[in-house]
Structure 1
């Protein structure tokens, strides 16, 4: 059974090979959530995720014969990069099997660390089966992303560092996919501070561990913005540890995660992927549960496709009322559009897009419908813009 000693030994192996990442209070997020929030910046690791802790601990314990044979892993990204980087550092051959849907940025970075990337399957389960087949064919050591005590011990060093830096923490909120991170952190944290509360967070699209622990039957989706925790089959070792040591598991929605990502970018000036924002998403969704507590959150990864990030930021601006779509109907005469744009400008808003619609409208033939996407200062400013347009004789309304 995994113990605190195993995690302390892992920490010794990792010394000098990974960052002891900062763990600092966010005053602004504390004010917003009502809890005292401390952030552990694992997105600052060289491969931008905590996953290299487990990979480094596992690879450091390979025998000379195993090192000569090489290793294989299956992963949608962060585990892949962790294994590839530390294998390269130790001079060990690494083969990584990735699902076909893996973001291009993760594939290229994994190749950049010297690994041989094999794209196979449309799910982690299919990739895993193929990786096990290749391991057998080529005599490679299979490095599981979460269901391995050496991996779990490595991930547990996150909890060790957090409680050494901030012994006053009374709650840890941790994203859960296969469960390696929370299992390791719970083992360390409960041994150091037995009364500490540990809460796991899953996306409602991939609630496998919640179902396994609570006996619920939440349906599983097909995709999530938090692909780092999109795990359909929970680990056996991790499940046993979670059932024994984790106090509760909660689910968050896609919108909660997107909101948390935008807040971390805007407030903390730090980039996290969906899985990395799951902890903050839980605080935003269940504020009463964490009110007044000293909460440690792990920003567990920062690998995200730039195009997806751009879409999330834009959607965040819409939610915050900083981008709005308004519809204005007006008589179809020369100068109407100029009057509308001048009125919007006078109200202090900036026009992002204009769509002039004559055919696809129920208005009379003499009228035209103009759809504007405008940049505003927030919800109250949208109302001001609409009021000014209506006062100027136009029919204006916000479109959702």
Structure 2
């Protein structure tokens, strides 16, 4: 820790980076009953903290290394830091980026002087390609997180925090991808003020540090979700693991819906738009308060960046209120008789209806997909379900049902007669040109597609819901075909959203 503190105190980051503001979140503080502050790394010249570590590493290149040029692999934020720093230092930079990288980040790297090479579906494939290019051409590889100088550069945020808020701090919440930011902040904070808790936050679908600590060493996740692309890392670094295991007080995981809610919180308080990874720490802070585990004193979340594609905000806005438990999605069965709708709405009283989907499907029962605005979170949702149930209505909670939220809500009323052996599958594939065609060509004509729903959510991966007629005696062959396509999939045939709204009569 002494070595890291020395590196942090002598870091060269301020040649290109800025000391960012530590802003109070007054609205959220009032709502949650605790002082909450946001460290605004989204205000850096490249809209991300990554410029700190990249420049601290590159400022120490020898003249011979500068002449060779540098290379890195990144989904965007580290890439922009390397590109800007290299341009300032007069060094050539080659940036290998996954083909799924949001266009806003690719364009930004090019504007900053980086030579972009698009390769692979994710960070790991891009990193392997960058390592190969470095070996063949002699470029200096600038690691995005597992390098002491990069870690020290990110640790300057911890130094600023203690200077900006000398009073009581209960905890600092830090997003974790590869672990460089968390390791750097924890190294400085724990050296000077060990009583402050440093909490790492990861997405549920990319919790590589939590998995590493549980296993006793870095492990490679089979797959990671790409919604929070800035932290979508399948394996953390050796050095970052060593520091995080020793210095972090806890690691919290959060859902994509909770991240969306945190993006909305930041907008409401700051009129600023964070990228999903940028709002990750605040989502963890909220989760910690809701768990009753947050310590006393000011709570600080790191807003790590603002590089988000505009079209992704459509998905964020759809999921934010679910993430903050301000909306319930319910499947309700009512009698298919005149007056039933009116009686149903009367039961809900003056609560705001956010969504109402229905189509005739059966002579005796009507299935409704309804969204209801909540002011008291899960407690109120439970009260609504109990009220409807007590009045003889069938209710299924769809609030946390991914198939319902992504697909079925747009397809209510799709029942048909005469289908046999229908199975339902959810597929995920990289959102790039040709991927949907690759998926469709991989399905053999021997099986009839009976249902299909795809919607671009502005994310790095596409999601398709597919119904297929698969006779029992061909199912082994069918599974062999979809396995060969190579995209992750889930059998959703028993999903209650499908059973109530889409399954064939």
- Which bracket does the TM-score occupy, shorter chain normalised? 0.7 to 0.9
Which position in structure 1 is the counterpart of 2:307?
Answer: 303
Which position in structure 1 is the counterpart of 2:254?
Answer: 252
Q: Determine if contact 1:322/1:379 at 8 Å carries over to the other structure.
A: no
Q: Determine if contact 2:173/2:201 at 8 Å carries over to the other structure.
A: yes
Which position in structure 1 is the counterpart of 2:454?
Answer: none
Q: In structure 1, the residue corresponding to 2:198 is in which secondary structure?
A: strand
1:231–1:372 Cα change, 3 Å: closer
Which position in structure 2 is the counterpart of 1:386?
Answer: none
Which position in structure 2 is the counterpart of 1:143?
Answer: 142
Q: Could you tell me which of 220, 224, 227 is aligned with 1:225?
A: 227
Which position in structure 1 is the counterpart of 2:194?
Answer: 194
Q: In structure 2, the residue corresponding to 1:296 is in which secondary structure?
A: strand
Q: For 1:213 and 1:349, how far apart are their aligned partners in 2?
A: 44
TM-superposed CA distance for 1:27, in Å, is: 2.5
> Which digits, 9 at most, give the CA deviation of each residue in 1:169-192, with x for residues without a partner?
232111111110011111111222
Provide TM-score, normalisation by structure 1. 0.81
Q: For 1:203 and 1:215, how far apart are their aligned partners in 2?
A: 18
Matches within 5 A, 1:1-400: 2-10=3-11, 13-168=12-167, 169-215=169-215, 221-287=223-289, 288-317=292-321, 357=359, 361-363=361-363
TM-superposed CA distance for 1:321, in Å, is: 5.4
Q: Which moved more, 1:73-82 or 1:209-218?
A: 209-218
1:42–1:153 Cα change, 3 Å: same
Q: For 1:267 and 1:220, how far apart are their aligned partners in 2?
A: 37
Q: For 1:139 and 1:299, how far apart are their aligned partners in 2?
A: 35
Q: Determine if contact 2:263/2:275 at 8 Å carries over to the other structure.
A: yes
Q: In structure 2, the residue corresponding to 1:48 is in which secondary structure?
A: coil
> Which digits, 9 at most, give the CA deviation of each residue in 1:318-347, with x for residues without a partner?
666579899999999xxxxxxxxxxxxxx9
When the two chains are superposed, the root-mean-square deviation of aligned CA atoms in Å is 3.6
TM-superposed CA distance for 1:155, in Å, is: 0.4
TM-superposed CA distance for 1:9, in Å, is: 0.7
Structure 2: give runs of 5+ residues left out of the alignment: 339-349, 382-392, 399-505
Q: In structure 2, the residue corresponding to 1:263 is in which secondary structure?
A: helix
Q: For 1:214 and 1:257, how far apart are their aligned partners in 2?
A: 24
> Which digits, 9 at most, give the CA deviation of each residue in 1:67-117, with x for residues without a partner?
111100001111011111111122211101111211121111111211111
Q: Determine if contact 1:207/1:218 at 8 Å carries over to the other structure.
A: no
Which position in structure 1 is the counterpart of 2:499?
Answer: none
Q: For 1:269 and 1:375, how far apart are their aligned partners in 2?
A: 26
Provide TM-score, normalisation by structure 2. 0.65
Q: Determine if contact 2:13/2:53 at 8 Å carries over to the other structure.
A: no
Q: For 1:234 and 1:39, how far apart are their aligned partners in 2?
A: 25
1:79–1:329 Cα change, 3 Å: farther
Q: In structure 2, the residue corresponding to 1:184 is in which secondary structure?
A: helix
TM-superposed CA distance for 1:291, in Å, is: 4.6
Q: For 1:261 and 1:296, how far apart are their aligned partners in 2?
A: 15
Q: Determine if contact 1:224/1:254 at 8 Å carries over to the other structure.
A: no
